[in-house]
A = this chain, B = another copy of it.
Amino acid sequence: MQEGIVEGLRKLGLTEYEAKAYATLVGMGEATAREVHELSGVPRTRIYDILRDLGSKGFVEFVQGSPTYYRAVEPDSVMERLRDELVSCIDRSTNELLSLNLEAHGSSPVWCVRSKWGINNRIRDFLSKVERELVVFCRSPDLLIEHKAEMKKVPGLRIKVDRKEKFVGLGFEVQEMKEGAERFFKDYITDGTSNSIDALMIADDRSSIVVGTMGGERLAVIIRLPVVAMLQKAGWESLV
């Protein structure tokens, strides 16, 4: 049996035993508790309550007897129901949350974002709000690849990189910064934690976003203070 299928079913709310038993039963079509146990690896003495639970959840059917026979309910049917339940739960939650969320917010000019998705989300948002000009410094092509499509649409795009050869074939016009300037963006250590900056973007001399690893965790810092943005840009210009 594949490993991934169990993992997937667990994400959808089944336990490991339930996932194994159900997947096995789907594969066997019809089987006794013992057979499910043999193939799935679920302990024999537990297979009975597991199958009973699956029955209560609408995943399997059975025919009483000695031995009792079990079969899986058609997976597309079960999965469709699951999807409907989850989607309607999400829609409900979204509406409830939005009804709490009436007031305006985001007044603080600087925010940190921690998760990978959160960072990408922020970058997308940031890119979509550029009006005239975006200057970018970056040290790895990953970020440019990830946001290539949005980046292409940005007006006034200028990119500086540490070494040109890392960025060939991406379709971006990049400029290499001058000798010795890379020290501004080198890995450094503060308070015993190592920091490294992967990318810096400044939009319209107004807001900026810094992406990097600080103290062992990936972080993005969004700053919407024109003063700071101007200063950062001045530094950036000096990199030519």
Copies in the complex: 2
- Nearest to A117 among chain B residues (CB) is B58
Instruction: Report how far A57 CA is from B114 CA in the complex, Å.
Output: 8
Given A96-B4, A106-B29: A55 touches B118 (CB 8 Å cut-off)? yes
- Nearest to A124 among chain B residues (CB) is B77
Cβ–Cβ contact A93 & B61, under 8 A: no
Instruction: Report how far A79 CA is from B121 CA in the complex, Å.
Output: 13
For residue A165, CB closer than 8 A to chain B, the reply is no
Cβ contact of A62, chosen from B63, B86, B92, B112, cutoff 8 A: B112
For residue A103, CB closer than 8 A to chain B, the reply is yes
Map CB proximity to B onto A75-86 as digits: 1 under 8 Å, 0 otherwise. 111010111001
Extra A-B contacts (8), CB below 8 Å, given A74-B101, A79-B94? A8-B93, A26-B100, A29-B103, A55-B112, A57-B115, A71-B106, A72-B101, A87-B87
Map CB proximity to B onto A49-80 as digits: 1 under 8 Å, 0 otherwise. 00010011110011110000101111111010
For residue A227, CB closer than 8 A to chain B, the reply is no
Given A55-B118, A61-B111: A90 touches B30 (CB 8 Å cut-off)? no
For A94, what are the chain B residues with a Cβ–Cβ distance below 8 Å? 75-76, 79
Give the shortest distance, in Å, between A115 (CB) and chain B (any CB).
4
Chain A residues with a Cβ under 8 A of chain B: 2, 4-5, 8-9, 11-12, 23, 26-27, 29-30, 52, 55-58, 61-64, 69, 71-77, 79, 81-83, 86-87, 89-90, 92-94, 96-98, 100-101, 103-108, 110-118, 121-122, 222
Cβ–Cβ contact A113 & B63, under 8 A: no
Instruction: Report how far A98 CA is from B110 CA in the complex, Å.
Output: 49
Cβ contact of A73, chosen from B12, B93, B112, B118, cutoff 8 A: B118
Cβ contact of A86, chosen from B9, B29, B86, B112, cutoff 8 A: B86
- Nearest to A14 among chain B residues (CB) is B93
Give the shortest distance, in Å, between A45 (CB) and chain B (any CB).
21
Which 9 pairs between the two chains have the least Cβ-Cβ distance? A29-B105, A75-B97, A58-B115, A58-B118, A55-B114, A27-B100, A8-B93, A58-B117, A79-B94
